[in-house]
Amino acid sequence: MDRELESFIRYLATERGLSDAYQLSVRQSLDALSNWLIQKKITLSNVGTEELAAFLHERKKTGLSAASLRITTVHLKIFFRWLALREKLVMDPAEPLLAPRPEQTLPETLHAQEIQKLVDSIEASTPLGRRDIAILELFYSSGLRLSELCNLRLEMLDEKEGFIRVTGKGNKTRVVRVGSKALAAIADYLANERPSLVNKKTSSHLFISVRGTALSPDRIRQIVKQRAKRAGIEQNIYPHLLRHSFATHLLEGGADLRVIQELLGHSDISTTQIYTHVDRQRLKSLHKKLHPRG
């Protein structure tokens, strides 16, 4: 096993050109298998599908997550396929293995009252108050990704019609509605704060820093976290949380999933369907709390 493992790692490095990190990950998976085979007194030539399934089952019992088991299964598959192709084994015992389904983690969200608390905690008259209110309102109003908000330019905003043109993943452009409160906050920022931040080097980016430059993603993350901390919100707040809240609250309000998909810029409806799980969790919780026999 050790000799074949070393040959396989060299193959990944020289012929496939895979990274050191990937090689290390594969080595860890196969080292665990090698130790298990030694413990069970099973030689590599006698490894079958049942033995590999038993190894994975034991790994699961030790607390390995579904995601890690999935990666381990992939490593077993590529290793034993390589052995079979080089006629080191008569057959590929890993071929029938099924990788565990990935765990579906539900996105965190904020209550509407918490978002109101977050925005209300900012005094518009304080330095950069109008800008930060506009940023938070737009995140929640339109469900933008962080990169999309960073890249917004003045020419992409139609204040009269209440829309923005956004360039999202895959360089795809979509038109997104901006709510009345977000529009009002943006108008206030553009009229009463942005002009004082502009200098000769300023581009047409909508949101700019005290130096007149476009805000970086890291800086916007920092702004959101700092504002949440000052508002007394203990939950970990980040820009994507506002996007999740936007989608969840639309769904709770009765919006069609296809509409939410379009607003979020998801190319596949399956990505949007995670929010139906959030809504079902909420309904289950309410039923348990409010129904006499919940």
Q: Which of 88, 174, 219, 266 is catalytic?
A: 266
Which amino acid is it at 119?
V
When computed from its CA atoms, the radius of gyration of the chain, rounded to whole angstroms, is 26
Q: Which of 16, 169, 229, 277 is catalytic?
A: 169
266 tagged catalytic:
yes
Q: Which of 59, 131, 227, 243 is catalytic?
A: 243
Find where tokens 């980040």 sit: 238
Torsion over CA: 25, 30, 31, 32 (sign): positive
Among 54, 59, 81, 62, smallest CA distance to 72 is for 59
243 tagged catalytic:
yes
Three-class DSSP category at 153: strand
Side-chain-facing half-sphere of 154: CA atoms under 13 Å: 13
Three-class DSSP category at 216: coil
Q: Which of 60, 221, 240, 282 is catalytic?
A: 240
State the DSSP code for 89. Answer: S
145 tagged catalytic:
yes
- Cα(260)–Cα(107) distance, integer angstroms: 15
Find where tokens 């007394």 sit: 232
275 tagged catalytic:
yes
- In this structure, what token pair is assigned to residue 134? 């506009």
277 tagged catalytic:
no
240 tagged catalytic:
yes
Q: Which of 145, 227, 244, 249 is catalytic?
A: 145
Active site residues: 145, 169, 240, 243, 266, 275
